Structure 1
């Protein structure tokens, strides 16, 4: 088991890539703290994961909530080996329709929340741990209706490098995992495409060289690689998992 005896704090842990990562990490021997705004849902899902995993309320747009959640997660797990700062939100709009509120909301969660999740969790991390930040290939290509979302995800790689340098003395390895199109809540009626979700998914998949979107479990397997000793000679780098969309 590749994560035997390890513990992990995962934000955005109740759906999509975060939940898939939690299941994958537990499968490989880890105990997990599922962190999300919906604490009750996090607790219910953690119970399904099995003994040793916990659900924690954490709103990554609120620094006090992040700090409190990090304490609770550390106390429940007995310390933290892996931080997967995965929580994020998606907003798509025509260029002329973006508002200051949209800007603040996106950056509060996707950028500020990501940085402070790691900062608040770091004191509870054991040396030689791993931090994974979720980026996006949206930051690599100009796309209509995605300007602010892409801008809010672009800092993930810079944060990974800066945090890696800051934590170097503790031998904590930091990475940026940048997914391409993935079958998450974005492509459901609850996502930004609303009633056009099925059409949006078909359109996106047609632009992926592999010809489909990823399953969240595929992103989780890459997160597992980064969280495990298999990535022991890697540091401060970005792993792109996008079916070739940003490459070809």
Structure 2
């Protein structure tokens, strides 16, 4: 299959946690198929935006392949990178509010996750097609700091390196009055979360022609 973009994600291994994410969002990134949504009124609407990406934590944001690179070369480079990266571990995960979004974020020290993400961003950047001036302008948002603008220019995304914060998105932007209710619903629906939370593999994922992402290959972190 040909893909319009690629990304490096953390995708949970098969199990209750991954199944929760698929049923919450309505898209199974591992099996590349729709998943029956939980039966909560309004869930389809608040998950429509994150659904296309599947349940994941971003390590290197989606990018178009540079014109002189191939998907096979990218695959080999990701495998090489993973072989030299040590796994990352933190205390666990917790549900939190990021602005008006709800997401799972790490509990405790997250420097190791920062290290893995930074390596993915930097070491694979030769495969990323550079953004045009118009694309850069579209990605700039009011309130972005000078540092975030610099990161956008250098890496194609403003929330990488020292601005990176690992998260697993569960909703689109919510009305303020709905955040508390959806927080309670998610907390009641979550399976037992992994303790500790360990990222011992990274996943190459591709954006299909229908705009949804699917898992292409997992790579064990063996450094």
TM surpasses 0.5: no
**Normalised-by-shorter TM-score class:** under 0.3
The structure with the greater share of residues assigned to strand is 2
TM-score normalised according to structure 2 size: 0.27
Greater relative contact order structure (CA < 8 Å, 6+ sep): 2
